[in-house]
A = this chain, B = another copy of it.
Amino acid sequence: MRTSRLEAFSDGVFAIAATLLVLELRVPADEPDLTHALLQLWPAYAAYLVSFLTIGIIWVNHHTLLEHCRRVDRRFLYLNLLLLVAVGIVPFPTSLVDRYIVSESGATAALVVYGLGGLLIAIGFAAVFFYATHDGRLVGDRVSARQIRADGMLFPIGLAAYSVGIALAFVAPLASLAVYGLTALFYALPLLPIADRR
């Protein structure tokens, strides 16, 4: 089974989920002081940025994984579908963070849901990753066993990071959001050298 159409469908979901995030950026119509309303919207800008980067960086990793796959099978398509279910849901926790991060009562719940969404993506990506790389099932010989082991170690770290973010949601909402942003960047940074090795 070719990987090209799997990529087209996945890219569509990634791109749409990222671009739908902008629909959460809105001020009420006929706001008397627009400048003030725009400045008040900073949690929405932060959440847009964190969520867009999270989706974009997962996409880069998905792209890299599929480049190493010689083929995919139907079971891989279904695991990938579960990952896409998780990616497609991102605009929902993002909209919660937008609107509740500055509220007394709702910030914790919003950030817990955001962290659960992140955990879902991390678990979905881990499922796709380990299915594809286990015993070199779908991945060709080009990728060394050593690199796969190194990449595989990122998943427990990601799960731990989202868990820390969820715990922080109960005591320090803004710190929780910062942890989610750093987790996205963490998935981007350590993989940079891979580009050079190839």
Q: Point out residues on A near B: beta carbons under 8 Å.
A: 1-2, 5-9, 11-23, 25-27, 29-35, 38, 48-49, 52-53, 56-57, 59-60, 63-64, 66-67, 73-75, 77-78, 81, 84-85, 88-92, 95-96, 99-100, 103, 105-106, 109-110, 113, 188, 191-192, 194-196, 198
Select which of B27, B60, B89 is within 8 A of A78 by beta carbon. Answer: B60
CB-CB under 8 A from A11, the residues of chain B are 5, 8-9, 12, 15
Q: List 16 A-B contacts (CB under 8 A).
A: A5-B67, A8-B8, A9-B63, A12-B16, A16-B19, A19-B20, A19-B88, A20-B20, A20-B22, A20-B23, A26-B95, A34-B96, A34-B100, A38-B109, A53-B85, A57-B81
**Chain B residue with the shortest CB-CB distance to A33:** B105
Copies in the complex: 4
A22 CA to B60 CA, complexed, in Å: 22
Select which of B48, B99, B188 is within 8 A of A29 by beta carbon. Answer: B99
Select which of B8, B20, B73, B81 is within 8 A of A53 by beta carbon. Answer: B81
Known: A5-B63, A9-B15, A63-B5. A56 touches B73 (CB 8 A): no
Known: A15-B12, A22-B92, A194-B74. A110 touches B5 (CB 8 A): no
CB-CB under 8 A from A99, the residues of chain B are 29-30
CB-CB under 8 A from A95, the residues of chain B are 26
**Chain B residue with the shortest CB-CB distance to A7:** B5
- The smallest beta-carbon distance between A89 and chain B, in angstroms, is 6
CB-CB under 8 A from A59, the residues of chain B are 9
A126 CA to B113 CA, complexed, in Å: 37
CB-CB under 8 A from A38, the residues of chain B are 96, 109, 113
CB-CB under 8 A from A5, the residues of chain B are 7, 11, 63, 66-67
